[in-house]
């Protein structure tokens, strides 16, 4: 009966997986060893599953964050492309539909270039006309100078004619006097001087006629002299005016020549700008097409990433369910976690909590959003917390309050991210300080549980 009672006690010990002296019962000892090893393996598998699901949750979070960043970058590029090229977005956002403004600018520059060429042609035509006028003016001046010389020579001839006429007039006057004296002498001679008297009268009449003709010629020469003086003066004034006009034509010609050269330079510059603008337009079109292609590619990558995340999310859900099932199995004595194992989980949870708070501080300090787990059930502590209930009576009162506290703690992360996205950096710092203070209470509870688990 004693042996039966001892065997029953050993069987009870095996059922509770307690250490006992199984040396007299090899079968029970073998069973105990197998169950004990199985429990250890279960604990190891449970620990590995917890680590794996934590890593998968982290991977899921990172992929979602990067997908969102890619979408944000894609949308930013799309908006920038629309602002630069004037391209529409959405379903109608397609390659080759852009660059209207720059094309209009290029066409305007080309039109200006053509207009400048036309202005240059007109200026050049005007320059040729001015050159012809300038040459004609110089020819007229040359002819006028020759004419003035001829007028001066004519004036000299008239002067000499006047002198000759004066000499003839003097001779005719002397001839008249001689004829008069001859008549007087012929009258004194009487009958003998009658023939000579006739000759003297004829000479006197010839002298009178000569004086009349000389007087007429004198008036004519004097009139010619006055006319020549006027013509010479007029020619001189004409030459002076022609010189003045030629100087003005020369100034206009030089100014027009400078304008022609300037317009030529402007035309070359505008033509170069038009050529460069066309090249830029082609480059911008090509660049736009590449940007649009890259944007569409990034959008497709985001879609592919979202699809790629779905299996990860499903795996995470299945692993989470498996961990919870394994956690439920720990209620059974065969799979119950030892206190020291539970304590290790608590240490890891405290470490994960500090890491999460450090990442929150990093975001606030650098003013940059990074992947941060906002779901309290998927963080390092959350997977463990929601998968099991500790079997340490003193721990349960504290354990039961941790869920709400932990959930509220993660809400600080969402608030900080919203503040950073809105550019409210001072508000983000205030929220972080609140999270840091609130964290102290949460850490204190976790450390109490750790202390109780280590004592147990």
126 to each of 122, 257, 265, how far by Cα in Å? 6, 10, 18
Residue 95 has pLDDT above 80, yes or no: no
* Mean pLDDT, rounded, for 68-81: 72
CATH code at 407? 1.20.120.30
Q: Is residue 36 part of a domain?
A: no
Tell me, yes or no, whether 415 and 363 share the same domain.
yes
Residue of 164, 162, 180, 144 lying closest to 223 (CA atoms): 162
Residues 127 and 210 reside in one and the same domain = yes
Asked if residue 84 is part of any domain, the answer here is no
pTM: 0.55
Residues 271 and 133 in one domain: yes
Tell me if 165 sits within 8 A of 218, measured CB to CB.
yes
The domain boundary residue, chosen from 231, 258, 288: 288
* pLDDT tens, residue by residue, 337-384: 888 888 898 999 899 899 999 999 999 999 999 999 999 888 878 888
Same domain, 136 and 280: yes
Q: What is the pLDDT of residue 93?
A: 46
Q: What is the pLDDT of residues 223-252, one digit of tens each?
A: 766 766 666 666 676 667 667 766 777 776
Pick from 288, 303, 318: which residue ends a domain? 288
Q: Which residue has the tokens 């956690």?
A: 327
Residue that is last in its domain, among 253, 288, 323: 288
268/369 same-domain check:
no
Spatial distance between the Cα atoms of 310 and 133, rounded to a whole number of angstroms: 89
Tokens of 235: 């020619």
Distance, CA of 121 to CA of 259 (rounded, Å): 12
Tell me, what's the pLDDT at 361?
96
Does residue 421 or residue 276 have the better pLDDT?
421
Report the alpha-carbon distance of residue 110 to residue 277 in Å, rounded: 9
Q: Are residues 276 and 343 in the same domain?
A: no
Query: Distance between CA 67 and CA 371 in Å, rounded?
Result: 11
Q: How far is CA 192 from the centre of its chain?
A: 132
Average pLDDT value for residue range 299-326 = 75
**Per-residue pLDDT, 85:** 58
CB neighbour list of residue 90: distance below 8 Å, 6 or more residues apart: none
| Number of domains the chain contains | 2
Give the C-alpha distances (Å, rounded to integers) separating 444 from 193, 216, 223, 375, 410. 182, 149, 138, 21, 17
Can you tell me the distance from the alpha carbon of 159 to that of 225, in angstroms, rounded to the nearest whole number?
8
CB neighbours of 299 closer than 8 A, spacing ≥ 6?
Answer: 71, 74
122 within some domain = yes
Q: Is the pLDDT of residue 283 over 90?
A: no
The mean per-residue pLDDT over the stretch 146-175 comes to 71
**Shared-domain flag, residues 440 and 339:** yes
- The answer on 364 and 218 residing in a single domain is no
Residues 211 and 281 in one domain: yes
Quick one: 158 and 221 in the same domain? yes
Specify the pLDDT at position 222.
72
Residue 294 scores a pLDDT above 80: no
- Do residues 186 and 273 make contact, with C-beta atoms less than 8 angstroms apart? no
Q: What value does the mean pLDDT take over residues 20-49?
A: 81
Mean per-residue pLDDT for 406-423? 94
Q: 329 is written with which tokens?
A: 């199995």
Give the pLDDT of residue 92.
Answer: 42
Indicate if 112 and 231 belong to the same structural domain: yes
Q: What percent of the chain has pLDDT over 70?
A: 69
Q: Tokens at residue 201, please?
A: 């009268």
Is 307 domain-assigned?
no
Q: For residue range 179-213, what is the model confidence (pLDDT) as tens digits?
A: 667 677 667 776 766 666 677 677 767 767 776 77
Task: Let me know: does 105 contact 249? Beta carbons within 8 Å.
Answer: no
At residue 232, the pLDDT reads: 65
Q: How many helices (H) and strands (E) does the chain have?
A: 8, 0
Q: Is residue 68 classed as helix, strand or coil in its secondary structure?
A: helix
Structure tokens, 221: 């020469």
Statement to judge: residues 278 and 427 lie in one domain = no
- Does the residue 358 lie in any domain? yes
Q: State the pLDDT at residue 452.
A: 92
- Looking up residue 277, the CATH number of its domain turns out to be 1.10.287.950
Asked whether residue 320 is domain-assigned, the answer is no
Reading the block at residue 193, the tokens are 């001087």
Residue 86 lies in a domain: no
Asked if residue 152 belongs to a domain, the reply is yes
Q: Is the pLDDT confidence value at 126 over 60? A: yes
Cα gap 47→335, rounded to integer Å: 13
Task: List the domain range (segments joined by +) for residue 398.
Answer: 331-456
pLDDT for 8-34, tens place per residue?
787 777 777 778 887 888 887 888 788
Specify the DSSP class assigned to residue 92. Answer: G
């Amino acid at each position: 009966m004693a042996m039966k009672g001892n065997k029953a006690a050993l069987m009870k010990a095996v059922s509770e997986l307690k250490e006992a002296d199984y040396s007299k019962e090899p079968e029970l000892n073998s069973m105990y060893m197998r169950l004990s090893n199985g429990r250890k393996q279960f604990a190891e598998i449970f620990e590995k599953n917890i680590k794996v699901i934590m890593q998968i949750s982290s991977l899921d979070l990172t992929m979602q964050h990067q997908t969102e960043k890619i979408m944000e970058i894609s949308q930013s590029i799309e908006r920038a492309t629309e602002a630069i090229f004037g391209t529409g977005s959405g379903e109608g956002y397609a390659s080759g539909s852009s660059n209207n403004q720059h094309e209009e600018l290029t066409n305007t520059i080309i039109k200006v270039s053509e207009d400048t060429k036309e202005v240059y042609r007109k200026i050049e035509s005007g320059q040729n006309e001015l050159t012809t006028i300038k040459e004609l003016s110089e020819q007229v001046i040359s002819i006028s100078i020759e004419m003035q010389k001829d007028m001066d020579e004519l004036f000299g001839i008239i002067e000499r004619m006047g002198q000759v006429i004066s000499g003839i007039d003097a001779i005719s006057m002397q001839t008249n006097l001689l004829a008069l004296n001859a008549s007087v002498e012929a009258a004194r001679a009487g009958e003998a001087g009658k023939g000579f008297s006739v000759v003297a009268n004829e000479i006197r009449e010839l002298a009178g006629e000569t004086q009349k003709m000389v007087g007429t010629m004198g008036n004519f020469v004097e009139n010619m002299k006055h006319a020549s003086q006027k013509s010479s003066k007029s020619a001189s004034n004409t030459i002076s005016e022609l010189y003045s006009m030629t100087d003005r034509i020369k100034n206009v010609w030089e100014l027009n020549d400078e304008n022609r050269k300037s317009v030529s330079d402007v035309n070359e510059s505008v033509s170069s700008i038009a050529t460069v603008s066309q090249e830029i337009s082609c480059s911008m079109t090509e660049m736009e097409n590449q940007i649009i292609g890259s944007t569409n590619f990034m959008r497709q990558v985001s879609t592919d990433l979202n699809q790629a995340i779905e299996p990860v999310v499903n795996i995470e859900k299945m692993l989470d369910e498996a961990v919870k099932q394994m956690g439920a199995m720990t209620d059974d004595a065969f799979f119950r976690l030892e206190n020291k194992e539970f304590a290790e989980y608590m240490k890891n949870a405290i470490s994960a909590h500090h890491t999460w708070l450090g990442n929150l501080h990093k975001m606030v300090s650098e003013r940059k959003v990074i992947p941060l787990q906002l779901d309290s059930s998927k963080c390092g502590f959350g997977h463990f917390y929601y998968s099991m209930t500790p079997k340490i009576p003193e721990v349960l009162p504290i354990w039961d309050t941790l869920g709400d506290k932990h959930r509220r703690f993660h809400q600080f992360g969402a608030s900080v991210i919203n503040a950073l996205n809105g550019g409210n950096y001072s508000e983000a710092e205030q929220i972080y300080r609140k999270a840091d203070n609130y964290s102290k209470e949460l850490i204190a509870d976790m450390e109490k549980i750790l202390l109780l688990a280590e004592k147990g």
